[in-house]
Amino acid sequence: MTTETIHQKFGPAEIGGIGHSVKRAEDDRLIQGAGNYVDDIVLPGMLHMTLLRSPVAHAKIVSIDASAALALDGVVAVLTGEALAGYNLAWMPTLSGDTQAVLATDKVRFQGQEVAAVIAENPYVANDALELIDVEYDALPPLMSPQDALADGAPLIRDDKDGQVDNACYEWEAGDKAATDRAFAQADHVVSLDTHYPRSHPAPLETCGCVADVNPATSHVTVHMTSQAPHAHRTLFAMVTGLPEQNIRIISPDIGGGFGNKVPIYPGYVVATAASLVIGRPVKWIESRTDNLISTGFARDYYMQGELALTSEGRILGLRVNMLSDNGAFYSDAQPTAFRAGLFHIVTGSYDYPAAHVVTKGAYTNKAPGGVAYRCSFRVTEASYLIERLVQTAAYELGIDPAEIRRRNFIQPDQFPYTSPTGFVYDSGDYPAALEMALEMVGYDEVRAEQAAARERGDATQVGIGIASFTEVVGAGKGSEYDIAGLRMFDSAELRVHPTGKAILKLGVRSQGQGHETTFAQIVANELGIPSTDIKVVEGDTDNTPYGLGTYASRSTPVGGAATAVIARKLRDKAAKIAAHLLEAAEDDLEFDAGRFTVRGTPDQSVTIQDVALAAYSNLPDGMEAGLEGVHYYDPPNMTYPFGSYVVVVDLDTETGQWTVRRMVAVDDCGVRINPMIVDGQLHGGLTEGYAMSAMQFITFDEDGNCIGSNFMDYLIPTAWETPRFELGATVTPSPHHPIGAKGVGESATVGSPAAYVNAVIDAVAHLGVRNIDMPVMPSRVWAALQSQAG
């Protein structure tokens, strides 16, 4: 349910500016099945590539014999690591300063690792050929947890790295240890929680893939690829391959969902490009779902030990976190360079206290590489989960109502901008208002009363209420602090108004379903008064768009949207000068509203923006450059901080451990909402992914290193049947530093909701002594928790 009524609509509906729920421009082609996804692309002479993957988690490669595969009719080439090594492409740099094997040479280091590539006339033959490649492995003991990997005497996984003596991957800390130790020394209570945020995977419905097209005559490279960050990818391609950057073109066409899965550069892209270069024909690589789940960027896998220091009134004095992350075989997190654990240090959350100390360590294991993905805002999912679970635990241990303990600790509205103990400057917020709205929507007191009665009776079905009051940090980011592989995290917008008053907007970000073709047009419409339906939005083609860092971590609106507003305002300034010229008036005497410049006091003396647009090409003031266009690269002064309060009510069958969501109330504040309909859609999707993580979703491994969770029978995506119904509420607390006051919202619900769901389930059985159940909270785990309390 959208709360349209509270959102300010700027300007009339016909212009479709900010605040209007404009129907999406991108829908017209998608509802006709006329989208252009990578696998839809067919080029003359195109070949198909498929990758041979390691069946074992850790082994030396003794030999690879591809002769039988090569002999198969229809097979054009087989590439191995050895062949790529000849082009210096067997290894490539990662976005976290490590290296990653493109095709394995010495060893395989995770089950599913890329070992060889078959390029054939069609995918059926390519798959036939895979079975004919004979690889001899010499098995090594696999290390399947970071604890095992860091234990004394553990075999070395990254023996390819000079100077690597163990399986430690990185260390990083934030906050103030001394101040935190003092806070803990003063505490009346210390509450602790050990929890594992399991490995999961963004699993968009479209897998990753590319069509690599190297023109044999010119050696110009065009790669059509599933990319959330085409410009960054182009630069990295140039650096990795040595090919000249001006001759590389990355085209990211329609993408069937990203969620962070399509940010890294995967071996498949590199191999396909190398194959196209070597063979001289386009090469298509579309991974299977198993390829996708077993090898591409997983998410989470953080072991978190948190402690809260509290007074007896439940006031937080300090937070201490020790975190161990499972990074897989290569450290390939896509995150800002300065932060080894992403933005995990937002873990202090929505609460006001002076001291925190966060120590994070990463370990290599024999699993696929990754970690930063799945709508995590650079690890804010992990952080938010920990603090909200800790606060809930504190509520139980101190005997304070979970809503009340939050009220006592919230950063108050008059404290913004607020500097957190780990150095974030929260821009704006009203946490109490969001919580109160959520509690009222759910009827908190009534449900608590119902719960008390059910507990009294000892009913087989119990009720649980879970709260999560999260603060997000998005909009990376200020260039002096945030860069990816050295590329500062500005973003860009290039706007040109045509003589007939229409416009084209080109962006450095790249939607994967978030509706940029609509929402960014609305930003321009808002500033210039050109109807949003007259504005074409282009993204994804590096030859035709300004340089940007792409779309992930909810950064498009905060950074790209800001760039768009700024350039639109610059054009409006120029338009005002042209209008003054047309009206023979002074610029200061003009007013602008809904696309019309009017001489103040004389309403019949006006020109439209369309008049001005034509004049920009046909009737300019002396000395003025023709055209009405410009580009802006926006460097955000700060991050933005969306927030919210979610309340979940569950009914739990204590005999079987099954639980269902009776209510899911989500109050979100993402500042000014450009398109409320689209914002609600983002929230629905995120609340569903949060439900999935809390209820059923994880990738796990057996002790031999076999991946369990490499297909959709084991890695579960909820259907419409079990997905809860959602009730949305909203508050609007604009960002004071953002040109249109917007904050970004794409990941708020995945950040905030898992703790709400899990808190609800724990709450249903807390009276029986249960304090923690790690996700996914499957019926078996609830049952086991109840058994261990009963026994």
Partner 1 sequence: MYPAAFDYAAAGTLHEALELLADGDDDTKVLAGGQSLIPLMKLRLAVPAKLIDINGVPGLAGISAPNGHLAIGALARHNDLGQSELIAAENGTMAAAARWIADPLVRNLGTVGGSLAHADPQGDWGSVMLACDAEVIATSRARGERTIAVTDLFVDFFTSALEPDELLIEVRVPRSKSAAGGTYLKLERKVGDYATVGVAVHLEMDGDRIGRAGVALTGVGSKNIKATDAERLLVGEPPGEELFAAAAELAAAAAEPRTDVRGTADFKRSVVRTYVRRGLADAAAQAKSK
Partner 2 sequence: MEITVTVNGAEQQADVEPRVLLADFIRTRLGLTGTHIGCDTTSCGVCTVLLDGTPVKSCTMFAVQADGRTITTVEGLRTNGELSAMQKAFKAEHGLQCGFCTPAMMLVGTHLLENNPEPSEDDVRWAISGNLCRCTGYVNIVKAIQAAAGASAGASATANDISGSAAGASATADDMSVSAAESEGASA
- Active-site residues: which are they? 228, 375-376, 747
Q: Which of 255, 275, 648, 695 binds partner 1 (CB under 8 A)?
A: 695
Residue 23 binds which one of partner 2, partner 1, none, with CB within 5 to 8 A depending on kind?
partner 2
- Beta bridge partners, 190, equal 309
The one-letter amino acid code at 783 reads W
Find out whether 575 and 624 touch, Cβ atoms under 8 Å: no
Long-range residue pairs from 66-72, CB within 8 A, at least 24 positions apart, any chain: 66/116, 66/132, 66/133, 66/134, 68/132, 68/133, 68/134, 69/118, 69/129, 69/130, 69/132, 69/133, 70/129, 72/120, 72/125, 72/128, 72/129, 72/132
CA dihedral of residues 82, 86, 91, 95 (deg, nearest 10): -150
* Among positions 69, 355, 435, 778, the unique one binding partner 1 when judged by CB under 8 A: 778
- What minimum distance in Å lies between the beta carbon of 114 and partner 1? 16
Instruction: Report how many residues bind partner 1 under the rule CB under 8 A.
Output: 31
Q: Considering beta carbons, is residue 47 or 355 the nearer one to partner 1?
A: 47
The entry of partner 2, partner 1, none near residue 348 (CB within 5 to 8 angstroms by kind) is none
Say if residues 494 and 629 touch (Cβ distance below 8 Å): yes
Compute the Cα dihedral for 150, 755, 344, 421 and give only its sign: negative
- With CB under 8 A as the contact rule, the residue among 93, 354, 413, 779 that binds partner 1 is 779
783 binds partner 1, rule: CB under 8 A: yes
721 interacts with partner 1 by CB under 8 A: yes
* Interface of this chain with partner 1, residues 281 to 300, rule: CB under 8 A: 288-290
Count Cβ atoms below 10 Å from residue 504 Cβ, excluding itself.
Answer: 16
Closest separation in Å from C-beta 47 to partner 2: 14
- Binding partner selected for residue 254 from partner 1, partner 2, none, CB under the kind-specific 5 to 8 Å limit: partner 2
Where on the phi/psi map is residue 722: left (φ > 0), alpha (ψ -120 to 50), or beta? alpha
H helical segments located in 72-122: 81-85
Q: In three state form, how does the secondary structure of 29-83 look?
A: HHCCCCCCEHHHCCCCCCEEEEEEECCCCCEEEEEEECHHHHHCCCEEEEEEHHH
Which residues, in sequence order, are CB contacts of 131 under 8 Å at separation 6+? none
Which among 24-32, 119-127, 295-303, 736-744 is the span making contact with partner 1, rule CB under 8 A? Answer: 119-127
Least distance (Å) between residue 202 CB and partner 2? 8
Which strands, in side-by-side order, build the sheet including 590-593?
Answer: 590-593, 596-599, 602-608
695 token code pair:
């209820």
Nearest approach in angstroms of CB 132 to partner 2 is 17
What's the token pair of residue 684?
A: 């629905």
203 binds, among partner 1, partner 2, none (CB under 5 to 8 A by kind): partner 2
Residue 687 beta carbon to partner 1: minimum distance, rounded to whole angstroms: 16
Q: Burial of 503 by CB count in 10 Å (0-12 exposed, 13-18 middle, 19+ buried)?
A: buried
Q: Answer with the entry of partner 2, partner 1, none that 624 interacts with (C-beta below 5 to 8 A by kind).
A: none
Contact (CB, 8 A) for 771 and 762? yes
Q: Which does 128 bind (CB under 5 to 8 A by kind): partner 2, partner 1, none?
A: partner 1
Closest separation in Å from C-beta 787 to partner 1:
8
Report cis status (omega within 30 of 0) of the bond before 779.
no
Q: Choosing among partner 2, partner 1, none, which partner's interface includes residue 780 (Cβ < 5 to 8 Å by kind)?
A: partner 1
Residue 244: asked if its preceding bond is cis (omega within 30°), the reply is no
Residue 778 binds which one of partner 1, partner 2, none, with CB within 5 to 8 A depending on kind?
Answer: partner 1
> Between residue 337 and residue 366, which ones bind partner 1 under the rule CB under 8 A?
none
Judged by beta carbon, residue 158 or residue 663, the one nearer partner 2 is 663
**Contact partners, residue 552, CB within 8 Å, separation at least 6:** 228, 229, 258, 260, 263, 334
Q: Which does 573 bind (CB under 5 to 8 A by kind): partner 1, partner 2, none?
A: none
Of 481, 472, 484, nearest to 508 by C-alpha is 484
Look at the alpha carbons of 275, 263, 29, 10 in this order and tell me if their dihedral is positive or negative: negative
- Is there binding between residue 655 and partner 1 (CB under 8 A)? yes
Whole-number CA gyration radius for the chain: 27
Which distant-in-sequence residues (6+ apart) come within 8 Å of 535 by Cβ?
502, 503, 504, 505, 521, 524, 525
Instruction: Pick the binder of partner 1 from 718, 727, 768, 772 (CB under 8 A).
Output: 718
Instruction: Indicate which single residue of 23, 28, 82, 124 sits in contact with partner 1 (rule: CB under 8 A).
Output: 124
Select 120 or 435, whichever has its Cβ closest to partner 1: 120
CA 759 – CA 770 distance, rounded (Å):
11
Based on the shown chain and the rule CB under 8 A, indicate whether residue 716 belongs to the binding site for partner 1: yes
**CB environment 730-739: b (16+ within 10 A), e (fewer):** bbbbbbebbb
Residue 347: name its binding partner from partner 1, partner 2, none (Cβ under 5 to 8 Å by kind).
none
Site for partner 1 in 444-483 (CB under 8 A): none
Measured from the CB atom, is 266 or 396 closer to partner 1?
266
Least CB distance to partner 2 at residue 736 (A): 4
Tell me: does residue 780 bind partner 1 (CB under 8 A). Answer: yes
Residue from 30, 156, 696, 768 touching partner 1 (CB under 8 A): that is: 696
CB of 673 to partner 2, least distance (A): 11
**CB closer to partner 2 out of 218 and 719:** 719
Distance CA 683, CA 118 (A): 41
CB of 323 to partner 1, least distance (A): 25
**Does the footprint of partner 1 cover residue 205 (CB under 8 A)?**
no
Report in angstroms how near the CB of residue 730 gets to partner 1 at its nearest. 29
Q: Which is nearer to partner 1, 439 or 664 (CB)?
A: 664
Stretch that binds partner 1, among 74-82, 170-178, 758-766, 773-781 (CB under 8 A): 773-781
Q: How far is the CB of 450 from partner 2 (least distance, A)?
A: 17
Residue 657 binding result from partner 1, partner 2, none, given CB thresholds of 5 to 8 Å by partner type? partner 1
Comparing CB distances to partner 2, the nearer of 23 and 600 is 23
| Structure-token pair, residue 11 | 């300007």
Give yes or no for a contact between 691 and 697, defined as CB atoms under 8 angstroms apart: no
CB nearer to partner 1: pick between 15 and 775: 775
In the block, residue with structure tokens 């635990």: 393
Give residue for tokens 């005002």. Answer: 576
Pick the binder of partner 1 from 36, 67, 656, 789 (CB under 8 A): 656
DSSP string, 714-743: TS----TTTSPP-EEEE-----TTSTT-B-
User: Which residues of this chain interact with partner 1, rule CB under 8 A?
Assistant: 123-124, 126-128, 131, 288-290, 655-658, 695-696, 700, 708, 713-714, 716-719, 721-722, 778-780, 783-784, 787
